[in-house]
Structure 1
Amino acid sequence: MRLRGPIVRIFMALLFAFLSPIYAVGCSAVRDIENDRAKASASASLHHTVPKGVPVCELMVSEDLEVLAGYEIEKFFYDHSPAIDGSDTFPTFYCTVNFRAEAVSRVASVNYRGGSVRMVNGVENLDDARKAEGAKDVNIEGVEGEGVIYSYSEGKEVILVWKYPDGHYLWIVTTDYVIDGAEEPEPKDRVDFTEKLLTRIVSEVPKVAAGPEQEIVYYPPQPLETATPLTPWPSEPSSSQTR
């Protein structure tokens, strides 16, 4: 049944929020918790959790995304659902990737759906995004659509909202968490990364979302994993690659 995917997605998302360091962005309470967790792991040596060749959210292989981000990939999870007759919301796509450097944890969340944007700061459409302080238009040569990018939460988050000609929205939220005393990345770095990411995935996300349904799946795999990836992982992380 079609309801199975959303129900499992909600359950597993709640589980992931409990088990993994960072699940959502845009909430100051969550940010405080994640900063505390980041402090606890500050002394850990840097290593790859996600090996080369892993298709991250079916969008690009891990090494290409790391080059684009300038950070190592720690983990990711995603799901997508195809079109449903009579629904303007579907197809949908959701992906969150956790990156890390020595004292910085970066989270990039990618959302795609029809109808409206679902943002914690009240933004529901492109016009709302344009009203945000410091908002600027984003255009991609050769790609139909229009976008707006702006900073939120005292500049610690960058939000990019893109509207396709068919009314579907894609929005990316990039957030950095730093260890106390560490130098925070420049806001421009978050903006540049977010714009580059959009350029790479803006044409791919609708294609992936239109394919067969993918229930929520994680890499590295999580306890009580209930779904398998449509695009098989080329390898599993070894014990030396996980914390």
Structure 2
Amino acid sequence: MNIKTNFENILFLDIETVPETEFYNDLSEEKQELFALKTQYQRKEEQTPEEFYERAGIWAEFGKIVCVSVGYFTNFKTNDRKFRVTSFFGDEIKILEDFKNLLDLHFNKPTHLLCAHNGKEFDFPYIARRMIIHQIKLPEKLNLFGKKPWEIPHLDTMELWKFGDYKHYTSLKLLTSILNIPSPKDDINGSEVGAVYYKEKNIARIVTYCEKDTIAIAQLLLRFNNEPLIEEFDIVHV
């Protein structure tokens, strides 16, 4: 495939999310009732909302973002090609404000694109919803109101792999495996992030995991376009 865009115009990203509180009982009584209603069709009959709460991080209404990792190419067509990676983590409002500033100041041109794996279904709307909840004005790249499908500045590596097959879900781990890309899933997986955040209190481990996913997403797009993969010496942490 040919994405017909300069790789230097793409901001690759991944987010990590957790339930908004460590324990279900820390939610207000109203929020507990709303969570029970929201999840009644996902839960098995014998599962209580409290037992299901460890999965709350997948919903922007009941979760929060603890890390956003981004990466971008410089000098793409030269022998000095680099992939620069940085992360925003800590307080969610600051994460969102810092990410918004990055988009507003450095990725605000019509040619700029955002790229994530399953980003159109998860990362992009999740970030936008959390910004609305915190009364942060949406950056132009996330404000899709009134835009036609071909005007939306988002790339999704999972969607690209579908080739029009809307029923097809393929995980990042599976794609990196079949395309001979170094796997980013060599430590934790998404279902373990909540425990690492609340019980281990190890945000550094989450940041490393998130950055590896961001690099893997860039690797996928390179492979889709028959471009050389990123080598370890190509990566710059900033």
TM normalised by structure 1 equals: 0.25
Q: Which has the higher helix share?
A: 2
Structure showing greater Rg:
2
TM normalised by structure 2 equals: 0.26
Q: Which has the higher strand share?
A: 1
